[in-house]
Copies of this chain bind each other. A is one copy, B any other.
């Protein structure tokens, strides 16, 4: 039989548009001779619908859409679609995360998701009741005689293939999810029921390294059940969550047969009677992160209705990277960059920013903040009196810039991009309502060391391809500075970034205490790359953790960050603001 994977990009609540895509991709799959085409989890309504699920009209439109699809889908192919159904169970939540297979106008199969992720960005126990049973789809397929033996004539034979559906988390039971160990074992249940193929319709959010994790998991299960795995992932992005696609079919031997594109819609087919292998492709991790971020920016703008975006270029590496990514996402003609020099801006910074804009080919304007700064100082004088220059005046500059950028946004309906990175957001080394202004923080989930790493990789690839490296070397080489007071350097206020980022990884990803972090590093047990921190001072680690905790109030008002790590700031990490920073 031939199975098609429709790696679709859904928009939350865009039922007419999502239906149209489902019909169009199903028609194409039918034309390719597929017996079955499979769409991702909740492809009909988009993922994650969150609390729109409280609105009955939303669920009803989604069910009406299933009825419409029953009538309008092509007739010679079975179609698997993720949707929201009413719970068939007594008690519990009133909805389920369901997957239906439609064939010739009928729903011939339904599987309800049994494991509901309720950690990180996931909130599924909030809205859904878990499924309680597993059944197989029995699909009669007529073998069309396609064999590897070209010379023999094979009569068409009707066979029955039994397919089990493990919806996203149902497949992830084996992995180590901190704090969660599921009781039931959906894949085991499907295997016990006699599945010939396990299909995994997913809306699996991207983070760096996720693809390898997925494949390792699939290999384990393929081996365990001696069974092929068809992994159907969503693609696109919704707010801070990026779906990377990269759907695949894995043979029982752990070899990958077919792979869909990363970070774009795709339709691929797989014939279970053929043994083909997709050649393994090693793509550098930073290239994958770049693709994810570019997709995340493009999608957010498109789904929010923006064609243009803009940002402040400080001459530093963060804004340089965001400008570069924005140009990749929506094209140089749709990105405007603003230099907003102050009395503390170095000539080097202004020159570097200008050079970057030239390299990127996008609009570049200068809006000096000195007149605004003077006006504010004058206005505040009766209240500030003769108090010394401090963080108030530093932040003032950042907020004047934020205000200028928002004025441009309002006047020209252009979306402002925030340029902060994860190390800054952790330490609160950023100005709320200043450089934190923006609709989206594209690199808010990249540590500063990763910002450097990605910029170097971007330049290196350009060099390898004979292009001029887009990011001026001076931007990469100079010590980071906010330039909000004379001769300010980040390292005056923060630990060295390699130390800081190492500590933050262990704190944010592994939830370790200061003591545990020091021990982990001393015993060389740390599993993160690029960490050569053997001797950490516990007081320093404590101060990093406390500073991070105290900056929660800023992060609560930060724009959504594009998630590229296992734990990003935002919906995936929910912390109280008012609390004691406990004795760690």
**Which residues of chain A have a CB within 8 Å of any CB of chain B?**
11-17, 46, 48-58, 61, 90-95, 118-119, 123, 125-127, 178-183, 237-239, 299-300, 303-304, 365, 367-369, 371-372, 374-376, 378-380, 382-384, 387, 390-393, 395-396, 399-400, 402-404, 406-408, 410-411, 432-433, 437, 439, 511-513, 515-516, 553, 556-560, 571, 573-584
Known pairs A367-B383, A372-B372, A384-B407; list 18 more (Cβ under 8 Å).
A12-B580, A14-B580, A17-B580, A49-B576, A50-B574, A51-B575, A52-B582, A61-B583, A90-B183, A95-B179, A118-B118, A125-B125, A304-B553, A392-B411, A395-B406, A399-B433, A403-B403, A556-B560
CA distance A392 to B557 in the complex (A): 21
Contact partner of A408 (CB less than 8 A), chosen from B123, B365, B383, is B383
Taking the nearest CB of chain B, how far is it from the CB of A233, in angstroms? 19
Contacts of A125 in B (CB 8 A): 118, 125-126
By the criterion CB–CB under 8 Å, are B390 and A411 in contact?
yes
A178 contact set on B, CB distance < 8 A: 54
Instruction: For A559, give its contact among B127, B180, B238, B556 (CB under 8 Å).
Output: B556
CA distance A72 to B481 in the complex (A): 51
Do residues A582 and B51 form an inter-chain contact, with CB atoms below 8 A?
no
Determine if B179 and A50 form an interchain contact, defined as CB atoms under 8 angstroms apart.
no
Contact of A576 among B16, B52, B57, B376 (CB under 8 A): B52
Closest beta carbon of chain B to A578's beta carbon, Å = 4
Please give me the residue from chain B that is nearest to A304 by CB atom: B578
User: Nearest-CB distance from A22 to chain B (Å)?
Assistant: 15
Assembly CA distance A580 to B16 (angstroms): 10
Question: Is B511 touching A11 in the complex (CB atoms < 8 A)?
Answer: no
Residues of B within 8 A of A576 (CB): 12, 46, 48-50, 52, 238-239
Contact between chains at B50 and A582 (CB < 8 Å): no
Q: Is the CB of B406 within 8 A of A432?
A: yes
B582 touches A13 (CB 8 A): yes
Complex interface: chain B residues within 8 A of A380 (CB): 367, 404, 407-408, 411
Of B50, B94, B180, B369, which contacts A379 at CB under 8 A?
B369
CB pair B439 A410 closer than 8 Å? no
Q: Report whether A93 and B402 are in contact in the complex, using a CB–CB cutoff of 8 Å.
A: no
Q: How far is the CA of A527 from the CA of B410 in the complex (A)?
A: 40
Residues of chain B with a CB closer than 8 A to A390's CB: 410-411
Residues of chain B within 8 A (CB-CB) of A365 are 382-383
Contact (Cβ within 8 A) B238 A579: yes
Could you tell me if B371 and A375 are in contact, using CB atoms closer than 8 angstroms? yes
Would A582 and B94 be within 8 Å (CB), given that A54-B511, A408-B383, A571-B574 are in contact? no
15 contacting pairs across A/B (C-beta < 8 A)? A11-B579, A12-B580, A15-B580, A54-B178, A55-B512, A91-B183, A92-B181, A93-B180, A238-B579, A367-B383, A376-B403, A384-B411, A392-B410, A400-B403, A557-B559
Chain B neighbourhood of A56, CB < 8 A: 511-513, 516
Q: Which of A125, A368, A369, A573 has the most CB of B within 10 A?
A: A125
